[in-house]
Structure 1
Amino acid sequence: MTRLRDSRERSDQDRLDELRRLVEDATVGIRALPGPNGAGRAKGWGSGFLVAPGWVLTCAHVLVHSDGRRRGTGRDEEIGVVVDGGRVVRGRLAYHLAGESAAVPARWDGGTDTEPYAPSAMNIHPDLALIRLLEEVPDHSCVWLTDRTGVPIGEAHIFGRQDDDDPAAGPWEVSCRLVGQERGQLLLDARARPRPGVSGGPLVDMERGEVAGVVKARSREGSSTVLAVPLSALRALTADHHVPGAPDLGPEPYDALMRLHDRWHAARQKPGGGAVRTWADVQRHLPAAARGRRVLDRVRVLDLLADLPAPRHPALVERIAAKAQRSPGKAWTPRLSTWRDGQGVLYDLDPARELRMFLRYLLLAAAESERAARDNGDAAALRQAERLREWAEGRAGDMDVEEREDLGKAWQRLPSSVLVEFEPRPYDDGSPVFDWTIRLGYGGGVWASEVVGEDPRGFPFDHAVWHVERRLHEVLDGADGPGGTPARLEVALPEEHFGTAAHHWLAAQSRAVGLGRAVVVRDVGRRGAPDPRWEARWQRLTGADRLQPLRMAHAGSVLARREIDAGDDGAVPVLCLSVGDGLGCVAAGVALDSGYAVAVWRSDGHPPERCAEDCDVFHARITALLAPSETAAGGVSVRELPEKLRELRNAAVEKEAGSEWVAGVVLLYDDPGDPLPQLSAPLVHFPSSRGR
């Protein structure tokens, strides 16, 4: 028994030693570059660690001159980064999260270590920076960054590289424990006082084998307390923190950095990824390895999530994570913003519950990503969402039947739109009546009937609208799905009702439906396979470099058919006349006959008489929406138009200056790739009032 216990203890120690080697391989020193031919003594500034290929995370205050200026921001001013083996490579400060607060106090003063501590160090927030290596470092290692929002509560170690002046310079570590948090920063009790040069090094959760924070400042003389920054503070990273002239990570740097990190680790687990033991190899044998969500599950999923397009709504990740936890309305601090963040809050003491939450989250994320991909016509993104769903479904096969059934309820093919149709019926007494139907749309002309207005005599239009409003909010709530982006509302109308302001219909809590979702109108006469002119016009429109408004009426007259037919590839007809009758109805009909799939008009359009001053304002605003200026790179794209219009309507309600004009704007949006369903009974055609 003693021999078995000794063997187990040696095995545990071997794993911790392997973890130490992984951390040390990725921990770097930060200092000035040596002079020509390596001449000159270079003072060490601090530590850092590689988090993705070519990217080093450290503390912002490490990169401050004695006069308060940031290091690595002047012309050709570069930073020395000491990598494994003692080689010094060139680097450049690329992102500085702490702003001007990191300039005081100075990091060094006349060669005397004045490394800050409380209270001055507490004011540097968030005390983080990213350095980009300017030289290749073949086969360099990267740490594993925790995906948890929490902080280590068990065994933890501080790592770093000592000051280069120290005779024993090199990797250094000490164990510590969490004793508290203050102003979003961690207070650690270290068993030994950290040496100079450790600031910016990794704080490692040794029980789980992951980096949980960045060492911020060593203690005062005689004190063992150390400050650290939790890794979750890195979520604050934005393009605003970029240092001009330095390499960058694009418009969403935090998301981009974590994708690089996750893909790097996933590649190391694949055949041919290298013969060295990986972080996952070590993590899966540590005492705290997950019993439900396995370490390799996490590696694979983070790789799949890294391939998904970013969530299309900032609050979407939190809503889906809350739904996966069955805690609607829950929020997190710091806010969750990436798919990686969302799955990282789903750890639980009960392994079975944790795995269910994890898989439920993945299925919901896959469903939302699939819907977004269909809306955007993105076939590659659709395949990526399907890969994530297939992995989650396969992993669920290991669960009990009751758990599989529960997960099956989470996976829904979420509709991308809700369609309301008003179909004219035959009538004898001269009073037009309509049938109405509410359907769920799944893209590509796939529709499912949800609610049908049942009255053999049909409904007058206003009555039909009243019935639709009573039932619509229930359908919309279900179509939005758990945590999903609101489905678009599409309203198919006959010609005489094209001016219907469906975006003003009331949804739940007496709120206009157009404030919470995109709302468009469609031509109820366009059913089934698209007309060649319609399809060709759509292709020209979506392929155009920029959209151009085509003003169809001016001074009380409308363009001739040949002028409408001759519209440019990016032309979008715009009409200020009333489209319910008269010349406005005729003009709208000509535009549809010419194949136009997108057009803009007013629900409060004026009769066929001379345009008033507000018409010029209306046309100027639409021009600014579609094509901001002749010199701009381009305005809104066709597929972005419905959502952009919703944003403008919200601005109008919030009384933003100059936004009132949008209240009456109606958007015709007829995608021939998603045609209206054919009716089961033959359509009854009536004489057209618009001269088609």
Structure 2
Amino acid sequence: MSDAVTAWAESHLGECLVLVDGRMAGSGFFVAPGMILTCAHVAGPTASQVRVQWQGVPHLGTVLDASPPPTGAATLWPWPDLAVIRVDGLTGHPCVWLTTRMPGLGNPCVGAGYTSTLAPALKPAVGLLHLTGRHDFPPGVLLKISHEEVTPGMSGGPVLDPATGGVWGVVKAKRDHGGGFVAPLIGLRHLAPAVHRALWRAHDLHHRRADHHRRPAFDADRSGTYVVPAEERDLRGILAGLPEIPAEQHRADYERSAGPLAKPPSAPHHDYGDVAADLMGLVAPPAGEPPQVLAYAADLARRHGELPELRDWLLYRAGRLGVSPVIRNRLTETSSTAPVSVMVRLRPAGNNHLRYHVTMWRYVDADHVVPVVDDLDAVPWPEARQRVQDSLVEQIRQLTAHERDIMVEFILPQELLNEPVHSWALWRSRRWETLGSKYAVVVRDLERLEDAESMAFLKRRWRMTARQFLRSGLVSVHCDDRRSHEAMWAWIGGHPLLSAVALPGPPDDAPSRVALEVALPEGVPALAWCGMRCEKCSGDACPVRLFQSALAGSLAETRHDALPQRVLELRRAAAADNHWGRDLVLLWDDPTRRPPRQQMLPPGEAEVA
């Protein structure tokens, strides 16, 4: 840390520091015009009045929001122990720049606060601190700092990283053996969303307009890679002017931009700046690929074409990082209209087809597949079914932000293909709604999806038939069909444009089983059947033949790639007319829609009998 940075940090923090007299006396600091950040145990409860003193002049403030107090016998204020105070009419003061980038362990920091050490009353003090460790404090984490002079009056004071010039945390409490704890700023996202947005937007707009020529050169701003703090400050200032959108949309944007590196956020996304901060916290991408935050900025620039400053910011940074071609391609992408989906896979535990591993993903496109459930422990089918049912509604809700059709794709071993997943009633307040009458529900064969040869046949047939109408691609296998596997193979193989087969019943019945066992490795993309079984009747009165005839008529003008949505319409119609569509099962495989490559199974599992 240079002498210039040290001198600036001491002066800057001293100018932004305020004395807070609320529930107790402590410290606070200006983060936006008229807005002060401090600890909740200093300020007191939400809506309470507090006195603040800046440069010797007293002012009256209001607590906009504060973390709730401890309950029971607990004395330490719960995480994150933060509060925001508004002082009306107070302007002309400096504000710290906030950052969620935290320094590494052992790095020096600069802290400020009020202390009574060597003085009869609280006086401002600035000192050098060192980050020495982490302390789990559920549901968050605190950072340990070393400094002999951390006193109770310093609670609520800022901690600044001299490498970035940004304040990353708030002093929370002293430790018994010297030093103290710091609450990182990620905790702000656990305050009321409206207060969080108001604070960060006011902060970001202020620092976009602020004159930073008095700031020294920081080490992080000299970096030749990724997005440096000065660029982050400019970006957040632009994002602070965008219209508010639902939290679900922010999460969807984060997942799309993060791609395979997406992970469950440690705190909610209330605004654009939260998404940008989390993306900048991810591992840097391989050489030649843009940082995730640039991908996010490109998506926003495409969505908000009326903001040339966002596009200008993006293209300049893309040029500096050598990723202009990739970013320009992303800027010109057209929005996909393909359905998004929840993918559910039930995989048997080795040879034990009585126990299953549950894995679930949210699928948006081939580059945006988010794992949401991955159970390493195999459980019996009833438990696996309950696990899926307990998770589905929330995962579907997360997909609504994409404003596209939603599918549910069940990837199942053959013994589960006839499970009535489409008839699950998951909405307790609306028991009349079933999964398959509300969303397009399809089943897919697990073995085919994981067999390279079968997938090659599927891809070839899909390319030829995906956009053809089913009047020429759908055939039926009747309940009196007695063809052998060899004869069925010759028949299907001789019809390369065959894209769908109507089975005479569930796939465990003899004619259906033969057709399914041949059609899947031959690459037939779709098979459909009804829950009814053959009753050994004959002629036109056979209910299976009536079903197959009605199905062919209903699907004649449907393209193969639109088949799931058409089956959804038939299931909805069946809810009113009680016809065969109620029990219709669709096996439909689009080879371009695939979950990520599976991790290895636990050792020894393949030998389970």
Structure 1 length as normaliser, TM-score? 0.47
| Residue correspondence of structure 1 range 263-662 to structure 2 within 5 A | 263-269=205-211, 277=213, 281-282=215-216, 284-286=217-219, 289-292=222-225, 293-314=227-248, 316-317=250-251, 320-321=253-254, 324=257, 326-347=259-280, 357-358=290-291, 360-367=292-299, 370-371=302-303, 381-384=304-307, 387-400=309-322, 403-415=323-335, 417=337, 477-478=364-365, 485-489=401-405, 504-506=439-441, 603=573
What residue in structure 2 maps to residue 190 of structure 1? 146
Mapped to 2, the partners of 1:196 and 1:57 lie a distance apart of 16
Mapped to 2, the partners of 1:129 and 1:504 lie a distance apart of 43
What residue in structure 2 maps to residue 140 of structure 1? 93
Q: Percent identity?
A: 24
Counterpart of 1:258 (choices 200, 224, 237) is: 200
Q: Deviations 1:194-218 (Å, cap 9, x if unpaired)?
A: 2341111112222221111111112
The answer to whether residue 6 in structure 2 is matched with residue 90 in structure 1 is no
Mapped to 2, the partners of 1:164 and 1:138 lie a distance apart of 31
The Cα shift of 1:390 comes to: 4.0
The Cα shift of 1:101 comes to: 1.1
Q: Gaps spanning 5+ residues in structure 1: where?
A: 1-8, 33-42, 65-69, 106-119, 240-251, 270-275, 372-380, 420-475, 491-500, 511-601, 608-613, 615-692
Mapped to 1, the partners of 2:263 and 2:249 lie a distance apart of 11
Contact 1:364 1:482 in 2 (8 A): no
Mapped to 1, the partners of 2:65 and 2:255 lie a distance apart of 31
Contact 1:149 1:345 in 2 (8 A): no
Residue 123 of structure 2 aligns with an amino acid whose one-letter code is G
Counterpart of 1:160 (choices 113, 119, 126) is: 113
Q: Gaps spanning 5+ residues in structure 2: where?
A: 340-362, 371-398, 407-435, 446-571, 579-609
Residue 125 of structure 2 aligns with an amino acid whose one-letter code is W
Q: Label 1:312 to 1:149 Cα distance change in 2 as closer, same or farther (>3 A).
A: farther
Q: Describe the SS at the equivalent of 1:415.
A: coil
Contact 1:26 1:141 in 2 (8 A): yes
Mapped to 2, the partners of 1:304 and 1:152 lie a distance apart of 32
Q: Deviations 1:111-160 (Å, cap 9, x if unpaired)?
A: xxxxxxxxx42x52221111111x42231111111133676651112211
Q: Describe the SS at the equivalent of 2:131.
A: strand
Contact 1:356 1:407 in 2 (8 A): no
Residue 50 of structure 2 aligns with an amino acid whose one-letter code is I
Contact 1:479 1:487 in 2 (8 A): no
Q: Label 1:508 to 1:50 Cα distance change in 2 as closer, same or farther (>3 A).
A: farther
Structure 2 length as normaliser, TM-score? 0.52
Mapped to 1, the partners of 2:209 and 2:287 lie a distance apart of 26
What residue in structure 2 maps to residue 227 of structure 1? 181
What residue in structure 2 maps to residue 218 of structure 1? 174
Q: Describe the SS at the equivalent of 2:260.
A: coil
Q: Label 1:132 to 1:104 Cα distance change in 2 as closer, same or farther (>3 A).
A: farther
What residue in structure 1 maps to residue 7 of structure 2? 17
Contact 1:29 1:44 in 2 (8 A): no
Q: Label 1:351 to 1:31 Cα distance change in 2 as closer, same or farther (>3 A).
A: same
Mapped to 2, the partners of 1:350 and 1:393 lie a distance apart of 22
Aligned-pair RMSD on alpha carbons?
A: 4.4
The Cα shift of 1:89 comes to: 0.6
Mapped to 2, the partners of 1:50 and 1:208 lie a distance apart of 18
What residue in structure 2 maps to residue 180 of structure 1? 133
Q: Label 1:100 to 1:299 Cα distance change in 2 as closer, same or farther (>3 A).
A: closer
The Cα shift of 1:177 comes to: 1.7
What residue in structure 2 maps to residue 246 of structure 1? none
Q: Describe the SS at the equivalent of 1:488.
A: coil
Mapped to 2, the partners of 1:482 and 1:339 lie a distance apart of 21
Contact 2:112 2:154 in 1 (8 A): yes
Q: Label 1:396 to 1:370 Cα distance change in 2 as closer, same or farther (>3 A).
A: closer
Q: Deviations 1:454-482 (Å, cap 9, x if unpaired)?
A: xxxxxxxxxxxxxxxxxxxxxx9559978
Contact 2:21 2:51 in 1 (8 A): yes
What is the aligned length? 374
Q: Label 1:322 to 1:265 Cα distance change in 2 as closer, same or farther (>3 A).
A: same
What residue in structure 2 maps to residue 209 of structure 1? 165
Q: Label 1:261 to 1:300 Cα distance change in 2 as closer, same or farther (>3 A).
A: same
Residue 237 of structure 2 aligns with an amino acid whose one-letter code is D
The answer to whether residue 51 in structure 2 is matched with residue 80 in structure 1 is yes
